[in-house]
Amino acid sequence: MALQRRLVVGVLTVISLLCVYILCVNLEVPLSWSLTPLKHDYTAGASNVSRDSEEPLDSATRPPSALHFHIEHQVLHEHTHATQTLKTQTSKVSKQKVENNVLDVSKSSSSSDGLDKTWIRTKGPTPKPQWITQAARTTEPSYIGDTYMSEDVPPQTDCPDGIQSRVTQTEFGERFLKNIPVLQWAKHVTPEQHQRLSRYPGAHGWGGVDYETLVETLSVLNSSANWQMFDDWKDRSSKPECIRCAVVGNGGILNNSKKGEEIDGHHYVFRTNGAVIKGFEKDVGSRTTHYTFSTNTMVNSMRSYAGAGYRGPPQSKETRYIFLPDHDRDYLLMKAAVTHTRVERGSEQNKDPSKYFGEDLSIEKFKMYHPDFIRYLRNRFLRSPSLKKFRNIYRPTTGAVMLLAALHTCSKVSAYGFMTPDYKSYSDHYFDIKHHPVAFFANHDMRMELILWQQLHQAGLIQLYMHK
């Protein structure tokens, strides 16, 4: 009898334990589901991430599954951190101004304040209504970081009707910063800058890159060619003139466009990622003066588009390589290139940089986008709703960074091969062997970019190639 009772109790215990377990599992499912919703086509796009890797969702930076708790924890952490950093920054501003190394704090102080208020507003005790209104106007989470270094870089030409002089009369005037550094170089790497920028991960800061690697890489970039986009402009023309740039994306709209000659007729020709040229000269031209990539997208392009004939970055005397650094692997490859050594560690360990860039590895051939510039593009031109969900991986596409960099440095910009409203009529890339539809990725917002290109075109700031 006692044995029987014990047996019954035992079975009951097991059953109730099972019930508790099932309850827990069920609770977890809707939580994680609600955290990874992808907007309409994005769902399909996410599954294509591994197949088409030009703009891949990096496995190393995939959102963790426990995203929900993770974010709240981080917000709390950043909340404290931001307040501290802001205090340090404010006290340093006057000194930095003297050094011509100015932080544009006009927008920042209010935005960092806003963060604190948002956080308290949602999580803390009930705030006074007036306070909410105020916070709502200036609210900005600290990971946004709408504060940038400002530099007095003299314009390379005095083109009377260039983009930089016309932009103020357009709807883009207010968000356009003429003095933001587009490229980073030796002068930028200081402990203060490191402290400021290590708050932002990926392409938007120096978070995750150790100071030593930064110093070793950036201190080599100490020639005017490293901070000037058009370092050979003086050799190209004797009289001041407007700098005309062709910015070439890889869109299928270029198939049969016959735009090659027109593209090559510009002073400078920008290309990115898997830009196959051989065999497509009639449509896309043959020159490349500026090639934009991250080590990740370049290596992936070499793997994914080998079948279409892509063997690596274009190489010519006039070609410059602009890194979009979104990992320490970019700093490590850059350092190896400019010091003529092999990559010391990481995914490219022991790789010889001449494998990618050819034998001419002079320092003047290399440039690197400033993380402030990338963060500014994200915040002010491409602040996608995806940023909220994927804030550690969302960034503008490599092509978007290239086009917006041209917008900030060229006098005139013609854009080819960028997404247009009729993108469904074309294959993903002009070099595709078989037609396949445009692939969307969770870490980018290509619809938002498409709209931005239309707006810039309508504002007369770029000339976007469209079929009609």
Query: What is d(CA 272, CA 147) in angstroms, rounded to the nearest whole number?
Result: 28
Beta bridge partners of 183: 369
> Are the beta carbons of 344 and 332 closer than 8 angstroms?
yes
Applying CB under 6 A, the site for ligand NAG has a residue count of 17
Residue (268 or 280) nearer to ligand NAG, CB: 280
State yes or no: residue 325 binds ligand NAG (CB under 6 A).
no
> Are the beta carbons of 78 and 142 closer than 8 angstroms?
yes
> Are the beta carbons of 207 and 331 closer than 8 angstroms?
no
Among 127, 344, 432, 451, which residue interacts with ligand NAG (rule: CB under 6 A)? Answer: 432
Closest separation in Å from C-beta 344 to ligand NAG = 20
Residue 62, judged by CB atoms within 10 A of its CB (0-12, 13-18, 19+), counts as: middle
Residue (44 or 136) nearer to ligand NAG, CB: 44
Q: Which span (296-304, 347-355, 375-383, 437-445) binds ligand NAG, by CB under 6 A? A: 437-445
Among 309, 346, 358, 437, which residue interacts with ligand NAG (rule: CB under 6 A)? Answer: 437
Please provide the DSSP assignment of 49-91 as one string: TTTS-SS---GGGPPPTTHHHHHHHHHHHHHHHHHHHHHHHHH
| Tokens found for residue 12 | 């009951």
Among 427, 442, 443, 464, which residue interacts with ligand NAG (rule: CB under 6 A)? Answer: 427
Q: Which span (38-46, 293-301, 334-342, 399-407) binds ligand NAG, by CB under 6 A? A: 38-46
Q: Which span (228-236, 315-323, 371-379, 435-443) binds ligand NAG, by CB under 6 A? A: 435-443
- For residue 245, the surrounding DSSP H or E stretch is strand 244-248
> Are the beta carbons of 284 and 263 closer than 8 angstroms?
yes
Residue (85 or 184) nearer to ligand NAG, CB: 184
Among 88, 219, 341, 362, which residue interacts with ligand NAG (rule: CB under 6 A)? Answer: 219
Kindly identify the residues of this chain, within the stretch 337-396, that bind ligand NAG according to CB under 6 A.
none
The bridge status of strand 366-368 relative to strand 320-323 is parallel
Closest separation in Å from C-beta 442 to ligand NAG = 11
Query: What is d(CA 418, CA 136) in angstroms, rounded to the nearest whole number?
Result: 36
| Tokens found for residue 212 | 């030593």
Closest separation in Å from C-beta 46 to ligand NAG = 9
Among 63, 201, 252, 313, which residue interacts with ligand NAG (rule: CB under 6 A)? Answer: 252
Residue ranges in contact with ligand NAG by CB under 6 A? 41, 44-45, 48, 51, 186, 219, 222, 252, 255-256, 427, 432, 435, 437, 439-440
